[in-house]
Structure 1
Amino acid sequence: MSMPATAASTESALDTAAMLVERARKAGADAAEALVIEGTSLGVSWRLGKLEDVERSEGRDVGLRVFIGNKQASVSSTDLSEAALQPMIERAVAMARVAPDDPWCGLADPARLARDWPDLEIEDKAPAPGAEQLAARAAQAEEAALAVEGVTNSSGAGASYGRSGVALVTSNGFAGSYAGTSSSFSCSVLAGEGTAMERDYEFSSKRYADALESPAEVGRRAGEKAVRRLNPRKVKSQAVPIVYDPRVSGGLAGHFASAISGAAIARGTSFLKKEMGKQVFAKGISIVDDPHMKRGLRSKPFDGEGVKNGRWTLIEDGILTTWLLDTATARQLGLETTGHAARGTGGPPSPSTTNLYMEAGCVSVKELIADIKQGLYVTEMIGMGINGVTGDYSRGASGFWIENGELVYPVSEITVAGNLRDMFLNMTPADDLEFHYGTNAPTIRVEGMTVAGS
């Protein structure tokens, strides 16, 4: 069972979007934009040496946003037949006529639109894998994990491939499209027996299949991580340094991005709303958003409004330099869009990051924890106890206890707490930045947090 290399012609998607915009204008819209998103995916599930499931999907969604004066309306459909599209267009225009006024809505300034863009190498042109190839990757990963001494069961392994295409046309002169692929596999296993079992996982995800890690290596790491978690202890409540493994440290960068979203700033609901140009992170820390990263998992050549995008240093030497803005939030704040609009077919854009990362520091992980007498090394977070208005932070966690600079035993059923304002100003990144997710950070040490345990 193999898949075609392309899900649908981008030219066809652009034609569809252009047709929707033209018809919306003829139906009475002052301005309009149309988005076509197409996708194909194939995934397999594998457990204990057997293929459990094969799933394949194909879809094409269209979204139309129309403007009449300061009013806007959005509609979407998965039915691209003539019988469905014309009523959808008429419905959108009718909805816009009765919508409330929105002084900030509208298409992006034509001067900000992208006219050309780089090849970001986000589409793997190699033949798409079949279910047999995907199953082989999952099987190899699980087999390697089960071979690790102490591993007693499997939660399953999986592998997937997907291709998506995006086409955007606006009535003020933008037309552009791009396509991207993704290949991934994962493995999750259990160690121990009875009520003393622990679970862990590992994965690999890339734009290009030939850049994936070895399934056997990924499986081995999954098994070893599960075994390391056996016989966890509880610790007493105390204030200690906390070290975030790269698996979870990107979450701290993500919390920061949420706090500088133009939507939160415009509403006045962010604890960073008055911090522009001020020291928000410790000196030496830089945080970057780069939509043009070659083969980046969230790379895109232009933003969701057709605006020219590019690399932004959001935090430079600890200083906050910008908000994340789309056209509407920029207008509300009296600023210019930063090219961070993101969207689906069902509504207007909103600001969002692309390839977000904290730059690597200058110390090794060993040096980062060497002077910690008592501390916590976090490998897993649970729950989302974040107050975006105050910055208060409280999340469940598990990981390993640190004594005299060494990881000595696993710990679980604990909570880590602090305030993001203080955490940002008291963190130190290690030198081990790697790009495994859409949001990445190296190992990070944060001083002055509280561990709530027994």
Structure 2
Amino acid sequence: MNSIEQLESLVADLLSEARKQGASAADAAVSSSAGLSLTVRMGEVETIEHNRDQGLGISVYFGRRKGSANTTDLKPAALREAVSKACTIARNTSEDECAGLADPKLLACDYPDLDLFHPWDIDTDQASELALEAEQAARDLDKRISNSEGATLNTQGGSFIYGNSNGFVGGYPTSRHTLSCVVLAQDGDCMQRDYWYDSRRDWRELLSARVIGEKAAANALAKLNGRKLGTCQAPVIFRADIAPHLLHSLTNALRGHAQYRQSSFLLDSLNQTIFPDWVNILEDPHIPKGLSSAPFDNQGVATNPKHIIRDGTIQTYLLDSYSACKLGMQSTGNAGGVRNLSITCGDMNLEQMLREMGTGLLVTELMGQGVNAVTGDYSRGAAGFWVENGEIQYPVEEITIAGNLRDLYRQLLAVGSDSNIPGSTRTGSWWVEQMTIAGG
């Protein structure tokens, strides 16, 4: 794996070469990573993969004409060829009034160390022990755990550098470590599959292998002998590990590219109230060890914590420099996506929410795409549990839940306190007042 200093030198060389070849502006990103991925299945090591990856991307500008090229070869001759290809493309493409680098005034200057690099000196024997422990814990939980798709340990470390001809060069090392387990439960002719995992920057903070394996097994067992439902209107609770996709549908609709292309169900929605007034949704790119934390975005623009929704009302679109130009606005530091979302969580845990709901559907799995980004119409295959008298009665499968995202957001009754889920999005379970449930 290349060092930060080596990657900085590569970026400087790329930018210098772009100037030599006549570009009026340029930016470049270089990354290098190395890691281990090991999978066990049914008590035996199945695959061991050691990987080393590297790559770079260069964009050049001739006025308002842009060309880009990528390569995984970091030798000097390959760098010159990549720049040459990008320049050829730029010279032969049409002008775009919004093509160009980010506003220099928005670039990150002094940015925080977000503690994103915690390398794990683990060998294959140690990795196999952890993966085997996770799988064995799942298989030992219940004799109905009849088969396994395996347990996988993945550990990666790498470095990233971005620079542009406005004088910005920045980067940092990162790490990510994940342990997962997938098993099958069987009862007679009924078979169900489920999983659990954890992912962290710091390997010392991973859930134990035993906990991950037992959680995977419990999830699979709970789904056995599911029933179908008749079509009805009912309250719906999206379990915490499913709820993040509802937030992602929101942020996708608020992305600048969806706005200027007029392909969003929240078109021209700034300052509109779309949630109850107790809802606040924040982005915080500066969480130490956060899985999506970053001191600057993919164009070097400084990231900052901000409200996306405050008191139920939309506060901002999510813009890179190109979409900001198209909309006559300023970049919000969201080139490359949204980092570390969170929503106001209440005091009720999932069991308390089920008791409060009384009768309805608890959704624990979603299938298919089924979200119309332009209209907000929502229809997804689902599985979960039917609830009566505030308690789970039986698993349900082969159902569809449908509605419109605007209605779903407006009818949000509560967000649970059960926000200890893997990933970079912090949310508890969502309780929605009513949706259409269609059975098979």
Question: Shared topology, TM-score over 0.5?
Answer: yes
Superposed CA RMSD in Å reads 1.2
Paired letter, 1:122: L
Q: Which residue of 2 aligns with 1:409?
A: 394
Contact 1:358 1:441 in 2 (8 A): yes
Residue 138 of structure 1: SS of its match in structure 2? helix
Residue 156 of structure 1: SS of its match in structure 2? strand
Q: Which residue of 2 aligns with 1:3?
A: none
- The Cα of 1:86 is off from its aligned counterpart by 1.4
Q: Which residue of 2 aligns with 1:426?
A: 411
Question: Is it true that 1:135 corresponds to 2:128 in the alignment?
Answer: yes
2:114 to 102, 106, 120: 120
- How many residues are matched? 438
Q: Which residue of 1 aligns with 2:430?
A: 444
- The Cα of 1:198 is off from its aligned counterpart by 1.0
Residue 396 of structure 2: SS of its match in structure 1? strand
- The Cα of 1:430 is off from its aligned counterpart by 1.3
Distance 1:72 1:443 in 2: 44
- The Cα of 1:159 is off from its aligned counterpart by 0.6
Distance 1:360 1:373 in 2: 20
Distance 2:358 2:230 in 1: 15
Distance 2:355 2:30 in 1: 52
Question: Is it true that 1:287 corresponds to 2:273 in the alignment?
Answer: no
Distance 2:81 2:398 in 1: 55
- The Cα of 1:193 is off from its aligned counterpart by 4.3
- The Cα of 1:435 is off from its aligned counterpart by 4.8
Distance 2:18 2:141 in 1: 61
Question: Is it true that 1:303 corresponds to 2:297 in the alignment?
Answer: yes
Q: Where in structure 1 are there 5+ consecutive unaligned residues?
A: 1-6, 343-351
1:144 to 126, 137, 157: 137
Residue 370 of structure 2: SS of its match in structure 1? strand
Paired letter, 2:439: G
- The Cα of 1:8 is off from its aligned counterpart by 1.6
1:370 to 318, 330, 355: 355
Q: Which residue of 1 aligns with 2:170?
A: 176
Distance 2:419 2:394 in 1: 25
1:318 to 285, 309, 312: 312
Residue identity over aligned pairs, in percent, reads: 37
Question: Is it true that 1:229 corresponds to 2:223 in the alignment?
Answer: yes
Distance 1:199 1:398 in 2: 12
Question: Is it true that 1:353 corresponds to 2:338 in the alignment?
Answer: yes
- The Cα of 1:56 is off from its aligned counterpart by 1.3
- The Cα of 1:365 is off from its aligned counterpart by 2.4
Distance 2:57 2:73 in 1: 11
Question: Is it true that 1:73 corresponds to 2:58 in the alignment?
Answer: no
- List, as ranges, runs of 4+ consecutive aligned residues in structure 1 with deviation greater than 4 Å: none
Q: Which residue of 2 aligns with 1:9?
A: 3
Paired letter, 2:369: M
Contact 1:371 1:404 in 2 (8 A): no
Residue 43 of structure 1: SS of its match in structure 2? strand
1:28 to 14, 17, 22: 22
- The Cα of 1:226 is off from its aligned counterpart by 1.2
Paired letter, 1:338: T
Residue 17 of structure 1: SS of its match in structure 2? helix
Contact 2:187 2:224 in 1 (8 A): no
Query: Which has the higher mean CA deviation after the structures are superposed, 89-98 or 16-25?
Result: 89-98
Residue 93 of structure 1: SS of its match in structure 2? helix
Question: Is it true that 1:103 corresponds to 2:97 in the alignment?
Answer: yes
1:332 to 306, 318, 326: 326
Question: Is it true that 1:392 corresponds to 2:377 in the alignment?
Answer: yes
Paired letter, 1:168: Y
Q: Where in structure 2 are there 5+ consecutive unaligned residues?
A: none
Contact 2:197 2:422 in 1 (8 A): no
Residue 212 of structure 2: SS of its match in structure 1? helix
Q: Which residue of 1 aligns with 2:56?
A: 62
Question: 1:217-256 residue pairs with structure 2 within 5 A?
Answer: 217-256=211-250
- The Cα of 1:361 is off from its aligned counterpart by 2.0
Contact 1:254 1:439 in 2 (8 A): no
Q: Which residue of 1 aligns with 2:85?
A: 91
2:366 to 370, 381, 386: 381
Contact 1:285 1:361 in 2 (8 A): no
Paired letter, 1:412: E
Q: Which residue of 2 aligns with 1:346?
A: none
Contact 1:399 1:412 in 2 (8 A): yes
- The Cα of 1:90 is off from its aligned counterpart by 1.6
Contact 2:240 2:421 in 1 (8 A): no
Residue 144 of structure 1: SS of its match in structure 2? helix
Distance 1:67 1:109 in 2: 15
**Residues 194, 40 of structure 1: alpha-carbon distance in 2 compared, 3 angstrom cutoff:** farther
Question: Is it true that 1:41 corresponds to 2:27 in the alignment?
Answer: no
Paired letter, 1:441: T
- The Cα of 1:62 is off from its aligned counterpart by 0.9
Paired letter, 1:322: T
